[in-house]
Amino acid sequence: MRRIGDWISIILCAGLAMAVAAPARADDTADDTASNSAKAAEILRKRLEGDTDSGRLQKKDRRLAPGISEGQTVLTSPVEDPAAQSPSEGLTLLQRMGQSLPDLPPAKPFDGKVDEAYGAFQRGLFLSALNIALPKAQLGDAAAQTLVAELMNNGLGVRRNPTDAAFWYEQAARAGDANAQYKYALMLLTGDGVKQDKKAADEMMRKAAEGGSREAQFNVAQIMVAAEPGDKGLKQALPYYERAASRGVPDAQYALSQLYYHMDLPREKRQEARDWLLKAALAGYDTAQYDMAMWLINGVGGERNYEQGFRWMNIAANRGHVVAQNRLAKLYVNAIGTPPDPVEATKWYVVSRKAGLADLELEDFFLGIDEATQKEGIARADAFMARRG
């Protein structure tokens, strides 16, 4: 599957200067238009020279609202007596509303069976959870068997024992517990605590996916793509990616964004590509955050938004995505979505360079700035890397 970064536009590979002029008002005179154009040109010139404050309106450049003269007070306090402006001694929410809230409806009775073992597990009482769950597991309770396996596999309350964990996962898997089927499939795949068997692992993973395990659904899609490279495998895997993505698996959401955009699918699915990418980015998937930045900057899957693109690039860079760190430096150099900042550009160039990503364009930029800027940028880079350990 071709990644989006392989064909992005050269917007980050060359300097880009942008100026946005406010639309002319219908009642402006020709002299005002000429004056505004001259001001815009001057602002652009200063920004290219590094003056980050040049784009801000000065007081004399601000337009007053109709009917308001210079120096006139626009907002006044409704309280004339200064002594009466002391803080409120406090009104309750109900007093401010002027009426009482209705009584809460009666709580619905819980008729289900309380799972004391799982309750203990949630509270961190792992040994108690094991003591409660183990007798139930021995009587064939699939949920209890899965819980016992989890405790043993992760060494919670007892010494880690993958062999015993595999036994209990298998018992629960045979009883139809989808979570146990997924975990047992992983153990069969890696040979952890059980004899490695890839064929049995794939079969068990499919059972888990059909049983509703979202992690298994994503893994089945991956298995299909690996077994049948190309469009055929992707089309077979697509329903599993969709099911896992709809249930909140970030990896599946990211994969779905790429498939929806690149595959020959109905137009409505292609239009959803950026939405799925955003879901994965919001879930903290750093590759999705980087791609989200690139899509916004280059107008992929929707309109361009340089400011939002910069924000996502900054998030991905701070999470340690090396390519995002390199691109963030270029955004600062070329003032794309942010005012130019040679110190921050230096910081992110140094961070990405120390991570092993060389860039001749940024190296030329670094050699062309003054020594004080270099030192400050390097100091910020060192501080960032020290925080990340």
**Which residues contact residue 218 at a Cβ distance below 8 angstroms, ignoring those fewer than 6 apart?**
240, 241, 244, 249, 251, 252, 255
Distance of alpha carbon 234 from alpha carbon 369, whole angstroms:
48
Among the candidates 155, 183, 212, a domain finishes at 212
Closest listed residue to residue 237, CA positions, set 205, 268, 267: 205
Please give the chain's pLDDT, 389 residues, in tens. 443 333 334 334 433 333 333 344 444 444 554 555 455 445 444 444 444 444 443 433 333 334 434 444 333 333 344 444 444 344 444 444 445 556 667 767 756 677 899 899 999 999 999 999 999 999 999 999 999 999 999 999 999 999 999 999 999 999 999 999 999 999 999 999 999 999 999 999 999 999 999 999 999 999 999 999 889 999 999 999 999 999 999 999 999 999 999 999 999 999 999 999 999 999 999 999 999 999 999 999 999 999 999 999 999 999 999 999 999 999 999 999 999 999 999 999 999 999 999 999 999 999 999 999 999 999 999 999 999 87
Please report whether residue 13 resides in a domain.
no
The number of residues in the chain equals: 389
The reported pLDDT for the residue numbered 389 is 79
Please report whether residue 95 resides in a domain.
no
Work out whether the CA dihedral 162, 168, 173, 174 comes out positive or negative: positive
Strand, helix or coil for residue 359: coil
Range(s) of the domain holding residue 352: 308-389
Please report whether residue 362 resides in a domain.
yes
**Which residues contact residue 306 at a Cβ distance below 8 angstroms, ignoring those fewer than 6 apart?**
18, 296, 297, 336, 337
CA neighbours closer than 13 Å in the CB half-sphere of residue 364 = 7
Please report whether residue 230 resides in a domain.
no
Among the candidates 164, 182, 212, a domain finishes at 212
For the chain, the distance separating the N- and C-terminal CA atoms, rounded to the nearest angstrom, is 33
Q: Which residue has the tokens 């970064």?
A: 5
Please report whether residue 353 resides in a domain.
yes
Please report whether residue 4 resides in a domain.
no
Q: Between vectors from CA 388 to CA 383 and to CA 389, what angle results, nearest 5°?
A: 95
Closest listed residue to residue 342, CA positions, set 322, 363, 369: 369
The reported pLDDT for the residue numbered 6 is 39
CA distances, 346 to each of 144, 254, 302, 372 (Å): 56, 31, 31, 11
141: CATH: 1.25.40.10
Does pTM surpass 0.85? Answer: no
Number of domains present in the structure of the chain: 2
Please report whether residue 199 resides in a domain.
yes
Residue 234 corresponds to which amino acid?
L
Please report whether residue 376 resides in a domain.
yes
| Cβ–Cβ < 8 Å for 173, 204 | yes
The reported pLDDT for the residue numbered 77 is 34
The reported pLDDT for the residue numbered 366 is 96
The reported pLDDT for the residue numbered 42 is 54
Among the candidates 212, 228, 256, a domain finishes at 212
